[in-house]
Structure 1
Amino acid sequence: MIIIKNATLLNMLTDKQVCDIKIEKGIIKDIGVFDVSEFKNFKIIDAEYNLVTPGIIESHCHIGLHEEGVGEIGNDTNEKTNPVKPELRGIDSIKSQDIAFEEALDAGITTVITGPGAANIIGGTFCVLKTFGNNTLDMCMIDEVAIKMALGENPKNTYGNQKKSPATRMANVAILRENLFKAKIYYDKKQRYNFAVSQGDNSIKEPDFNMAMESLSRVFNNFPVKIHAHKQDDIITALKIIEEFKLNATIEHCTEGHFIADILVKKNQRCIIGPNMTRKSKNETKNRTFNIGKVLYDAGVEFSIMTDHPVVPIQHALTQAGIFVAHGMKSEDVLRCLTINAAKSVGIDNRIGSIEPGKDADIVIWSGDPFHYMTKTLTILIEGKIVKLNGEIIAEKRRGAYEFN
């Protein structure tokens, strides 16, 4: 058991409170003010009234797929041989020794949602990893959590430059819709077959296995979708696709979302904005602005914030997020974008994203304001294991973590 004493807690659900946190078997057990004389076999961590928050969640990045410091040989982010590859899994490209994981951890990021890039119209699935561990067996929380789709320049340029389709936005959308229709036919056939089997009816033939359709058809059973779209026209197209096929989707980047915030609210559309702390590298990002945060928040749009690592190095996630504070958002609201909203974006808020009983004990104690460039992470716990203590990351990865159950 671990007791964090004297925490100035921001649990992401209520206002700040000074309290203690009890952790047992990797889970947050209780929050209150405890008389430690009642307990046996426990460790105390004195937060000394410093701010305590849930671990930061990176909601969209390519960490582990695009390895830091090794050049192009470490880049397994995009399979540029076919614009439709739903059967690909980001987890199968993860390089767990990527130094970016330790840099993310040191910055207070305890969970990353990482996966394929946007070269393909349908690029494969994202996974959820904790940032501390020796390999993906240690680190992986969910093998497949969402499927990536992309509109706009990336797929049309990737394949147009190869003299292949898609070379226009029309072809992007036509290919996406065609494959969603195929996936729905596949899904319906499987549903009919499974129902017949459950009723003892052997008259219906099982559909031939198709790995691509097997993966893609999950979207018709509420499997999350991430749709890459920057320009407002592409965002509108994404909204049409979401509505037509009844997808459980977030719009990734949503760079011009501030122009159509009223539509996003009307459609109750969740977004993941960013990366913003980088240059305006193409036509799609020429209207990028940090004002988007306040505009969307004031309008009532639920969103989280991404680094898109390595576009913005993941260790600068809090620096980037702090600029949204400088442009009018409240710091507590930006922290929610980096925690509970990020968890909600792929439906994992039942385990992480806030500090409350029953959730993973992924907790950070900060030396000051998380958005100040001089602030450090003092102590970090992941699933109740102390992985950083007194400013030092535990060197031996998960096997060397301090655990008190």
Structure 2
Amino acid sequence: MSAATTTRTPAAPAEPRTAALPPISWKLPIALTVLALGALLFFGILPAGGKTTTFRISTASDLIQIDPITVGSKSTALVLGILALALAGLAWWAAAARRKLGWWLPALFGVLWVLAFLCWAGEGKTIPLTGLLSGALFLSVPLVFGSMSGILCERVGIINIAIEGQLLAGAFLAAVVASSTGNPYAGLVAAPIAGALVGLLLVIFAVRYWVDQIIVGVVLNVLVIGVTNYLFSTVLTADPATWNRRTPLPVLPIPGLSDIPIIGPVLFRQTLLVYLMYITVAVLQVYLFRSRWGLRLRAVGEHPKAADTVGIKVNRTRVKNAILGGAVAGLGGSFFTVAAGLAFGREMTGGKGYIALAAMILGRWNPLGALAAALLFGFSDNLQTVLGIVGTPIPSQLMLMTPYVVTIFAVAGFVGRVRPPASEGIPYKK
């Protein structure tokens, strides 16, 4: 052959690309270590010891009676602190290995820490454990309904600061209707109507007139406080026997289930409102993430323009869900009157709507997460009441601060980075 033969050298094989590793977050291990060392030191090592703590498990109406459990205060707290420190070590290992251990680790750590705290705080006394848990669930009811309302609104892009006003309006109308009819269930039906009306006002200004949603929510809270205070001082006070007498919901124990030790009195010996709370959380969790309605709802909150292009009525969806969210919060407002067996009082919600917002953020706009956060706040609220009754070395002022301190830590980002829906608070202008 006259032409020179050219040879091609084979190309070197391309080096495989390694995926970028996620950054390591040391926030959880550090927090757990600090708390575990604090429990070990202040609850297990420093106390003098020699006394016992008694935990009363059964109630008088339980079918199966369990004897109270008495443990050594210092020794038990010491063991629990060591176990909590071991879990903190596991969190360090998981963070270094970039492994996710799930929600069970902080949940188990919290149980151990609280038990160590109760051993120390209840030294020489008796802690009604079942009553503590039952009261915590009951006090979390308005927080759960309020956080569910926030999820329904903010998942479609409406910031609902007016939860406080919706709870108060629901409490007011529930008390008036139940008192005038003599039927607490009538008040339970009327409460969502009041909350839905407040939600309607919120969505009119937010969707129709594009007013800043945070300002509208704050104004609505002030408006509801003013209107209910005026009606309380003029109408309800003038004739309390007709318009503002106590009409409590009866406790409805579920046969069989209510007799189970600990679980029965806590979960299945409650009023109808608590059972409605179970249903609301379960239905919202399923429909929000497992249904066409939930997909549309989340699409409107994340990318309204894309939702509009596929035929979803963005503003109509926002209006419907904001009103529904107001109704859910109004139903939670009936807790303060007919569920708690109290007459209506001025500003009786006491800022629970804002704590419900914190529970929603702590739960990452997820119904089950918001439920867990609301239970945490309800437990911290009831804990200061129970410990104040049995008598503890902790000043009552510090115990009263507990729910709000937990709220501050929650919204300050100690639970990790949270991302709200992308179009939250942004009016959709077609």
TM range (shorter): under 0.3
TM-score by length of 1: 0.25
Structure showing the higher helix proportion among its residues: 2
| RCO higher in structure (CA 8 A, sep ≥6) | 2
Structure showing the higher strand proportion among its residues: 1
Considering only CA atoms, is the larger Rg found in Structure 1 or Structure 2? 2
